[in-house]
């Protein structure tokens, strides 16, 4: 039997792994970081955070993610380019190779954890890693059991993580693979060191399990005053993490939540913040986590003194930091909140067309939730010379196994039941598209957000946007009136109209693939040309 260190919770033979290697069970993050440094997997920054690199793959590999097509779930999955099917034979073949590979390692690292802070819905998981730093990441990101819970822990899903094993299988798209088998309760990952694949694979699992219980799984951040809860949807770069970190509101979580009968609960035990252009002035709490041992910094450039440079994107724009949620002082103790009064959709509109804040009807909320819009700016990718629209259903399409209409219906029903208001906030450009206009000042965005959350926009005058149909306030405390109506910020009104029509057409073209799966009311919420 393998030698065990830490708190043993069974052995690996039941997982098919037979090894004489040292198996490290449920070590705390600090010990794992020391081991990672000793093993040459990374080094400590000047402030003690672990600095690591993920090699060629610095983000998710969506074309290499598969779901096993099997009887128990195949009618639930929205198969296509996002949810790509593979057969059981391929899974079993690749699993055998992964297990054989792991069995030959000199050390393995195991964590028994939970996904979900709501005790009745917490999914017991086991994560088996080749690297100490990936095991530290898993321990940061999932809910850590108490000693009593650990004794009773029986994993319902196991993640086999072999980042240095590269596939040579003609049925796969590359040497990288992430394969989820719902019936077996297993995930296998190989060929990528990007740590986000570990947590996102289990997020995808929750997104299939919870809707069947009437619980809405969400790719969102959330915060609360105790009496007033808000959730924030948004794709990367829209401000989801930044805007939910508010000194006057306690953080529930920054990325993945469920909305059940008791309110909002975090899936995670930590945060995985994007650190590009991080500054102490704009995001002091997140900046503070990068100075603590226990934080894992991915693909961050440091200077000769070991001080991170968050403005250096020479390795990737997708620089990341993983840290336990306890590193945020202003948070809820139990990672839960009440039913939200406000639902915020964040977009970074590089076309400069959408208003900085607008109020949505329930049908418009469902439409924009399914659309999941933001825009890439010119220059962020080779060949991108003008803004490009990006749509990701439910603001997390790669992790949503079911049809987006399922999640939209759940959102609509919960908003109606608990009286929540939906807002669309544009953190992108004003006065013109990227390259002409300027990005909305974060202090104005915070002022508009706070006004919405505090009810200060309830009694102001609104105008209806003739193209998109949502309501735009004509005044907001702490914000100049002239920036609220986007057409008025452009020097050339005709150029605005042409750009707005172009964006509206993009919305309509994107929504065609979902139209058959939603109600007439939601289809009617589309932009009018």
Per-residue pLDDT tens over the stretch 336-373: 999 999 999 999 999 999 999 999 999 999 999 999 99
* Closest to 114 (Cα-Cα) out of 267, 324, 260, 335: 267
CATH of domain 3-42+61-213: 3.40.449.10
Per-residue model confidence (pLDDT) at position 451: 97
pLDDT of residue 245: 82
163-195 per-position pLDDT tens digit: 999 999 888 999 999 999 999 999 999 999 999
Selecting among 4, 103, 225, 236, the annotated active-site residue is 236
Query: At residue 160, what are phi and psi to the nearest 5 degrees?
Result: -100, 115
Per-residue pLDDT reduced to its tens digit, 187-225: 999 999 999 999 999 999 999 999 999 999 999 999 999
Confidence of residue 377 (pLDDT cuts 50, 70, 90): low
Of 64, 112, 255, 349, which residue is the catalytic one? 255
Q: Which is catalytic among the residues 219, 368, 403, 414?
A: 219
From 249, 320, 331, 336, the catalytic residue: 320
Instruction: Measure CA 285 to chain center.
Output: 19
Residue-level pLDDT at 474: 98
Question: Residue 9 catalytic?
Answer: no
pLDDT digits (tens, 9 = 90+) for 280-320: 988 888 999 999 999 999 999 999 999 999 999 999 989 99
| Residue of 31, 60, 339, 441 marked active site | 60
Give the pLDDT confidence score for residue 385 in this predicted structure: 54
Answer yes or no: 409 catalytic: no
Confidence check: pLDDT of 14 > 90? no
Of the listed 134, 200, 257, 414, which one is catalytic? 200
Average pLDDT over residues 395-419: 94
Residue with tokens 């986000």, as numbered in its chain? 196
Of 3.50.50.60, 3.40.50.970, 3.90.10.10, 3.90.228.20, the CATH number of 341-523 is 3.90.228.20
Tell me if residue 5 falls in helix, strand or coil. Answer: strand
22 is catalytic: no
Q: Token pair of 367, please? A: 């439409």
pLDDT of res. 447: 96
pLDDT at 10 exceeding the cut of 70 = no
Active site residue 236: yes
Is 273:199 a contact under the CB 8 Å cutoff? no
Please report, for the chain, the start and end positions of each structural domain, with discontinuous segments joined by +. 3-42+61-213, 341-523
Mean pLDDT of 502-520: 94
Cβ contact 371:346 at 8 Å? no
pLDDT band at residue 3 using 50, 70 and 90 as cut-offs:
very low
Residue 376 has pLDDT above 80, yes or no: no
Give me the mean pLDDT over the 13-23 stretch. 81
pLDDT of residue 283: 85
Confidence (pLDDT) at 15: 84
**Rounded percentage of the chain residues whose pLDDT exceeds 70:** 96
**Measured distance CA(482)–CA(154) in Å, rounded:** 58
Q: Which residue among the candidates 240, 249, 336, 403 is catalytic per the annotation?
A: 240
Tell me which residue of 241, 514, 511, 473 sits closest to 373, measured CA to CA.
511
Task: Name which of 85-99, 240-254, 305-319, 379-393 the model is least confident about.
Answer: 379-393
Residue 282 has what pLDDT?
A: 81
Would residue 371 show up in a list of annotated catalytic residues for this protein?
no
* Mean pLDDT of the region 109-130: 96
Q: Rounded to whole angstroms, how far apart are CA atoms 206 and 399?
A: 9
Strand partners, 308: 302
Q: Could you confirm whether 368 is annotated as catalytic? A: no
Q: Is the pLDDT of residue 384 over 50?
A: no
Pairing state between β 22-25 and 3-6:
parallel
Question: Which position among 241, 358, 390, 430 bears the catalytic label?
Answer: 241
Say if residue 388's pLDDT is above 90. Answer: no
**Mean pLDDT over each residue of the chain, to the nearest integer:** 93
329 is catalytic: no
Specify whether 241 is catalytic: yes
Confidence (pLDDT) at 170: 85
Does the pLDDT at position 382 exceed 90?
A: no
Using 50, 70 and 90 to split pLDDT, how confident is the model at 386? low
Q: Does residue 29 register a pLDDT over 90?
A: yes
SS3 for 265?
A: strand
């Amino acid at each position: 039997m393998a030698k065990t260190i830490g708190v043993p919770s069974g052995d690996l033979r039941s997982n098919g792994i037979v090894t004489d290697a040292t198996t490290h069970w449920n070590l705390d993050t600090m010990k794992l970081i020391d081991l990672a440094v000793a093993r040459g997997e990374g080094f400590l920054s000047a402030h003690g955070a672990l600095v690591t690199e993920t090699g060629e793959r610095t983000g998710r590999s969506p074309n290499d993610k598969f779901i096993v097509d099997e009887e128990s779930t195949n009618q639930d999955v929205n198969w296509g380019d996002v949810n790509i099917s593979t057969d059981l034979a391929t899974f079993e073949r690749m699993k055998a190779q992964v297990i054989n590979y792991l069995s030959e390692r000199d050390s393995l690292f195991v964590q028994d954890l939970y996904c979900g802070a709501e005790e009745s819905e917490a999914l017991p998981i086991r994560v088996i890693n080749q690297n100490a730093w990936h095991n530290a990441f898993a321990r940061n990101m999932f809910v850590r059991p108490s000693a009593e819970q650990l004794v009773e822990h029986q994993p319902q899903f196991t993640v086999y993580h072999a980042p240095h094993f590269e596939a040579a299988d003609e049925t796969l798209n590359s040497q990288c693979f992430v394969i989820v088998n719902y019936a077996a309760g297993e995930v296998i990952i190989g060929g990528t060191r990007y740590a986000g694949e570990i947590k996102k694979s289990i997020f995808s699992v929750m997104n299939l399990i919870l809707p069947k219980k009437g619980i809405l799984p969400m790719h969102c951040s959330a915060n609360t005053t105790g009496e007033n809860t808000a959730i924030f949807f948004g794709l990367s770069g829209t401000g989801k993490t930044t805007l939910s970190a508010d000194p006057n509101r306690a953080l529930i979580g920054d990325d993945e939540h469920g909305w059940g009968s008791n309110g909002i609960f975090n899936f995670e035990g930590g945060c995985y913040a994007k650190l590009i252009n991080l500054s102490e002035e704009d995001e002091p709490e997140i900046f503070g986590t990068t100075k603590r041992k226990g934080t894992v910094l991915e693909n961050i450039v440091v200077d000769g003194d070991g001080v991170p440079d968050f403005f250096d994107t020479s390795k990737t724009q997708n620089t990341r930091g993983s840290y336990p949620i306890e590193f945020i002082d202003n948070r809820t103790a139990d990672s839960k909140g009440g039913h939200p009064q406000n639902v915020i959709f964040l977009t970074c509109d590089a076309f400069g067309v959408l208003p900085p804040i607008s109020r949505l009807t329930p049908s418009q909320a469902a439409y924009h939730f399914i659309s999941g819009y933001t825009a890439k700016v010119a220059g962020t990718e080779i060949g991108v010379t003008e803004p490009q629209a990006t749509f990701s259903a439910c603001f997390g399409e790669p992790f949503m196994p079911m049809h987006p209409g399922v999640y939209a219906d759940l959102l609509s029903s919960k908003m109606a039941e608990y009286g929540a208001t939906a807002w669309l906030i544009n953190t992108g450009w004003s006065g013109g598209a990227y390259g002409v206009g300027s990005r909305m000042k974060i202090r104005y965005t915070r002022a508009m957000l706070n006004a919405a959350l505090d009810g200060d926009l309830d009694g102001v005058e609104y105008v209806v946007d003739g193209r998109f149909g949502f309501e735009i306030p004509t005044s907001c405390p702490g914000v100049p009136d002239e920036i609220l109506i986007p057409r008025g910020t452009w020097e050339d009104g005709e150029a605005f109209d042409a750009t707005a029509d172009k964006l509206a057409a993009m919305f309509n073209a994107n929504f065609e693939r979902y139209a058959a799966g939603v109600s007439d009311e939601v289809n009617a919420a589309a932009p009018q040309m």
